[in-house]
Chain A
Amino acid sequence: MPEPVDELPITTGDDVVRVRQAVRARAGAAQLSLVDQTKLITAASELARNTLVHGGSGVARVETVERQGRRGVKAVFTDHGPGIADVEKALTDGFTTGSGLGLGLGGSRRLVDEFVLETAVGKGTTVTVIKWTR
Chain B
Amino acid sequence: MDRVPILSLGDVLLVSIQVDLQDESVVALQEDLAERIVDSGASGVVIDISAVEIVDSFIGRMFATIASLSKVLDAETVVVGMRPAVAITLVELGLSLQGVRTALDLERGLAALRQRRAEREIPLADESDEAVEAPTAAWD
Direct contact of A and B (CB under 8 A): yes
* Assembly CA distance A104 to B95 (angstroms): 10
Instruction: Report the tally of A-B residue pairs with Cβ distances under 8 A.
Output: 67
* Assembly CA distance A16 to B85 (angstroms): 20
**List of B residues within 8 angstroms of A17 by Cβ:** 20-22
Considering only CB atoms and an 8 Å cut-off, how many residues of chain B contact the other chain? 23
* Assembly CA distance A13 to B86 (angstroms): 21
Is B55 in contact with chain A by the CB < 8 A criterion? yes
* Assembly CA distance A14 to B121 (angstroms): 44
A38 near B58 (CB under 8 angstroms)? no
* Assembly CA distance A38 to B85 (angstroms): 6
- In the complex, which residues 3-17 of chain A have their Cβ closer than 8 Å to any Cβ of chain B? 13-14, 16-17
B23 near A38 (CB under 8 angstroms)? no
* Option from A13, A34, A42, A95 in Cβ contact (under 8 Å) with B23: A13
A13 near B22 (CB under 8 angstroms)? yes
* Assembly CA distance A107 to B90 (angstroms): 9
* Assembly CA distance A21 to B20 (angstroms): 9
Which residue of A is nearest B55, CB measured?
Answer: A42
* Option from B21, B86, B93 in Cβ contact (under 8 Å) with A111: B93
- In the complex, which residues 56-97 of chain B have their Cβ closer than 8 Å to any Cβ of chain A? 56-58, 60-61, 84-86, 88-89, 92-96
Min CB gap B96→A, angstroms: 8
* Option from A21, A95, A110 in Cβ contact (under 8 Å) with B57: A95
**List of A residues within 8 angstroms of B61 by Cβ:** 95, 98
On B, residues with C-beta under 8 Å from A are 20-24, 53-58, 60-61, 84-86, 88-89, 92-96
